[in-house]
Structure 1
Amino acid sequence: MRVDDSWSEITGHLERRCPAVARQVRAPASSESLRRAETAVGGPLPADLARWWRLADGMDGHHRLIPQLQTPMSVESALSSRRTWLDVSEHGDTCAGGQAGSPVYGVWLPQWLPIASDHGGTELFVDLRPGPARGCVGEFYSDAWEFSAPRWRGVAAMLDEVAAAFRSDEPVHGFRIWIDDDGIAWDHPGWRWAMGGSAIVDPDRLRQRYRDLVAELRVPTTTSDDGWTAERIAAHVKRNTELLLAVTDAIAATDPDFDRRMARAWSTGRRRRSASGDRVEPYICYDNSETFDPAVLDRYAAAGRSALADDIERLSERLAGSVGRIRGRRPIVYVHIVDGETLLDTAVEGWFGVLWAVCLRQLPIRVRQLRALRRPA
């Protein structure tokens, strides 16, 4: 698909589905800006990149239009970022060998021009070295300082895949797009239970996540094509919240010595043992298998959406209170975590990491699923 067609489709979806994000698309870049870019890199820009910038000079804000977390950059931002990378890259100006698309480690090359950023040290760039792959799009990580292989053969291919994601939910490098009133996000199965570290979860933030979900449960919905009705989503969340509450209450009933003994289990090689291996007592385990069991979900769903919403509201308040009671501790428990039929983790994990995964990933995912089921007005 041509750049014009892909970009028109992308912006059309933004205007219809999240107009606040659509308003962050900048006006076309000026010819003068494009000439400055060509002067900086010492040659013509790839035709697809030049055309994209002539349609829109990047986006304002942080809107993750390109997976995983990348916001398109303006020409001036791209040139500024390039200068910064070259300033901190000790030998970039002497390591310009190789053809476009070939791996580079430890330096930023002057033939690389940023086009999108996650505003956290990872950027997409076009590789302007010579060769058949000139104009390919790569990703550079500041923590590793490496580029191993192109992600797309060019800007046109990148925009084509993003447009397909908007149009028909096609995955892009394993990521599926979420787009709603809140903006754009890219979901990957491996992120759904990404552990969030040992910092305590803010009970008020956890409450707000649940309030968002309960509010969405009270909005009329249509029937899901994949069997995940609003009632089933609510049943899943209710059962999971019961499990989270049971584990958190069990932790609160122990003393801090339990945390130390579990930490030793973590550090002495038992972290990856199954739940049937050596155990630290009292045995506290979070196992979310039931939250995907059709029989369990059907039994819970029979109560109806309104009753489930009320139950979730009460349970979430109790959970937030229980989380507050273990403030100052670093609890570690056994976990057995699945996502559908996929086993994600059987190990010893920090409990706050699990709660962060619920707060930052699991509850927002369920809210987005519910929003996708909204009945048209």
Structure 2
Amino acid sequence: MRPPASEEAVQSLQDAIAYPLHPHLVQWLGIHDGAPLYDAPVWPGGHVPYDVEGLKGGPEYMEEMLEEFDEQREEDPEHWILDPWADPLWLPIAGTQTGQSLLIDHRPGDTYGNIIELDYEGSEVTAVRWKDLGEMVRMMAESLDSGSPMPYSPHYSRVPQLDEGPPRHLNWTLEKIQG
């Protein structure tokens, strides 16, 4: 993990984003300014948290994904009856080597702050994984401390394991919840 982002860097991010950043993201950046891309998949699912510079590209990425969704829906409206897989108020905060993303929902209302996993190849393109970033980090810490599974979905959990590699790294194994 990288050291904390400076207050100036966080302010430059806020200046680049058209909406107020969720306070948990600001708090996180004050602890760690992300991690080297794809060298530190420390978050569940192999996600690497983005640094301030990486976060700045999030709104443009969401715009592109929303345009792509709209184009595909126009081509085949009956197939694309699902909700869009992007929103201008979703901010990607972490990604994987395989193109999955974790996002913070900045839309006002009940979903504000939700951590959404975006997986274009999965059966669930978008899924709310945690109530907010604070809950996700707290659950990660509890799971790492105890070695117990971390809630991930109604049917699955993530279990922390040290992969000896090389290189040595943290892996969050997906396990089906029994019963």
Into which bin does the TM-score normalised by the smaller protein fall?
0.7 to 0.9
Q: What whole-Å deviation, never above 9, does each CA across 1:13-65 have from its counterpart, x for those lacking one?
A: xxxxxxxxxxxx11211223322332343232121110110111001142221
User: Unaligned regions of 5+ residues in structure 2, if any?
Assistant: 71-81
Secondary structure of the corresponding residue to residue 60 of structure 1: coil
TM-score, normalised with respect to structure 2: 0.75
CA deviations over 1:110-156 (Å, ceiling 9, x no partner): 10111111122110010000013311111111336832x42111111
In 2 relative to 1, CA 105–46 (structure 1 residues): closer, same or farther, beyond 3 Å?
same
Larger proportion of strand? 2
TM-score by length of structure 1 reads 0.38
Task: Report the aligned-residue RMSD.
Answer: 2.5
Aligned partners of 1:43 and 1:85: how far apart in 2?
14
Deviations 1:169-195 (A, max 9, x none): 1212211100255111112346xxxxx
How far residue 81 of structure 1 moved from its aligned partner, in angstroms, is 4.2
Equivalent residue for 1:175, pick from 155, 158, 174: 158
Other-structure match for 2:89: 111
Map Cα deviations across residues 218-250 of structure 1 (whole Å, 9 max, x no partner).
xxxxxxxxxxxxxxxxxxxxxxxxxxxxxxxxx
Q: How far off is 1:88 after superposition?
A: 4.1
C-alpha separation between the residues in 2 aligned to 1:88 and 1:138? 15
Letter in 2 for 1:146: V
Q: What residue is the counterpart of 2:48 in the other structure?
A: 71
Q: Distance in 2 between matches of 1:32 and 1:89?
A: 30
Superposed CA offset, 1:308-362 (max 9, x none): xxxxxxxxxxxxxxxxxxxxxxxxxxxxxxxxxx9xxxxxxxxxxxxxxxxxxxx
* Larger CA Rg, structure 1 vs 2: 1
The separation in 2 between residues aligned to 1:81 and 1:43, in whole angstroms, is 12
In structure 2, relative to structure 1, the CA distance for the partners of 1:109 and 1:36 (3 Å cut) is: farther
Q: Cα–Cα, structure 1 residues 129 and 91, in superposed 2: closer, same or farther, change >3 Å?
A: farther
The aligned residue for residue 347 of structure 1 is: none
**1:137 equivalent in alignment to 2:120:** no
Distance 1:128 1:180 in 2: 34
The reply on whether 1:164 has 2:142 as its aligned counterpart is yes
Say whether residues 1:146 and 2:101 are aligned partners. no
Report SS of the residue matched to 1:150.
strand
Instruction: Return the letter of the residue paired with 2:30.
Output: R
Taking a change above 3 Å as real, the CA distance of residues 92 and 53 of structure 1, as seen in their structure-2 partners, is farther
Higher helix content, 1 or 2 = 1
1:52 and 1:142 map into 2 onto residues whose CA distance is: 26
Q: Which moved more, 1:150-159 or 1:176-185?
A: 176-185
- For 1:116 and 1:176, locate their aligned partners in 2 and report how far apart those are by CA, in whole Å: 19
Give the 3 Å change call, closer, same or farther, for CA 81–42 of structure 1 in structure 2: closer
Matches of 2:161 and 2:96, distance apart in 1: 17
Quick check: 1:79–1:113 contact (8 Å CA) kept in 2? no
* Count of equivalent residues: 156
8 Å CA contact retained: 1:112, 1:126: yes
